[in-house]
Structure 1
Amino acid sequence: MTSYVQPLDHGPIRELRLARPPVNALDPGLCRALIGALDAAQAEGADAVVVSGLPGIFSAGLDVPHLLALGEDRAALRSAWGAFFGAARALAGLRIPVVAAITGHAPAGGCVLALCCDYRVMARCADPDKPFSIGMNETRVGLAVPDGAQQLMRRVVGRHRAERLLVAGHMVPADEALHIGLVDELAAADDVIPRALAWLQPLLQLPRAPMLQTRALARADLVRALDPEHLHLDRFIDAWYAPDTQAGLHALLARLGKA
């Protein structure tokens, strides 16, 4: 495990803090570190997990500059996307409860990771005119959203609303995200992690085996959504090299360079 993921124990609950400044961009190193940290939490007997981010940002999603730097190396590109979806599958398939402490913005891959958790607590920005937002904004940079990722959104907000959000690449402000069920709770920035821990407490007081068995059955569709057959990575990578996709990605890269 690298320092990209910092484990912090709160009694029987392990917090895994994503720590790849400045925005927790999901490169293969961070994704594999998260998988290793989740495996370690289970192996070391944690009763539950909280995944948190940096102040103001949960994760900005995939590391686009890293992906573009791979150029025509399709194998490396496939490996990078495979590492990301491997991290999502590790969250979805975790045998113990996991809460997303969404400490700020959560676009694209950050939203996907949050949707793989049992419960989502999102920070309210101190400036109400600049709310934190969450969503899958892939279409705005020229990417299609794979079916498996779309299923995660449909699962929590319903098919029709998911279609509207996904096709438009809409980033949902925190208050609206709470209203439509995309997140479960809002809290002041300093209270996001305490609220995530608090949500887990009554769950962990239940008879353990029945709770975990019921949870596994209830989340089976979530795990299936992230099976490789629903992601079509080869088709996705073909589309990555399409002219309009490359134009959108390079435009994003230019904007990031000016930020």
Structure 2
Amino acid sequence: MESIINVFMNIRIQDIIDILIVAYVFNKLLFLIKETRAEQLIKGLIILLIIQKLSEWAQLYVVQFILKNTMTLGLVALLIVFQPELRRALEYIGRSKLFEQSLADVFEEERKRTFKEITKSVASLSRDRTGALIVMEKQTGLNEIISTGIKIDSLVSSELLLNIFIPNTPLHDGALVVRKNKIMAAGCILPLTENQKISKELGTRHRAALGVAEISDAVVIIVSEETGAISVAMDGKLNRFLDTNTLENILVEAFRPSNNQVLIKRRWRFNNEHKNKII
């Protein structure tokens, strides 16, 4: 116990700053290689390093010799094979984004990309009058709903969304669930609303959207198969006949950080009251 206290007593401010800088740079590098070929290769190198250390501890000299020389050649091969990735990384650092862009900015950019992909696909679905039901998860977990569909776990893209909702395909007749920037599952079954006062002209797709909006804080996007009209269900209410610009604005407002939730609800109510299209 005394030795641990002595270690903490000898830590300098410079040591703390040193650790924080290394941790920050390491975190940024992880973001650079995430979901690239380099990510898998680095995992392999880490496994080789662990095996090398284990062979050294177990005194397996032949295995250690082979791994040590393989690692030396492997580092040279890395520079050749991943030359394009290294060049992009250096360009990224040269643009000063590595240190200027905060983690919140990275998430915000990813959110905006996701919203644009969704609105782009919704616009196309609306033009073709292809029915669609997209559930966007917020704070309330939707694992029970996700488990009723087919798992996808893929980044959101307009091309994938359009392919999922093509008529007469296995996944088109159900809901698609989006968590953050990923499509988690498609062909999901949603609970229907128990509200008996909604318009009789609304079909199962709209009733299912309202059902989810009543039991969670999810934002649900609906494209009507009959009219191509775009609607959004949120906070147990349905806002119909939206254009894509309004849809994107609603998504941006709905997924702002929690300290802006009051503003979100005010704008949502304002939009509903002035359109007079609340069902």
TM-score (norm 2): 0.25
| More RCO (CA 8 Å, sep 6+) | 1
Larger radius of gyration: 2
Q: Higher helix share goes to which structure?
A: 2
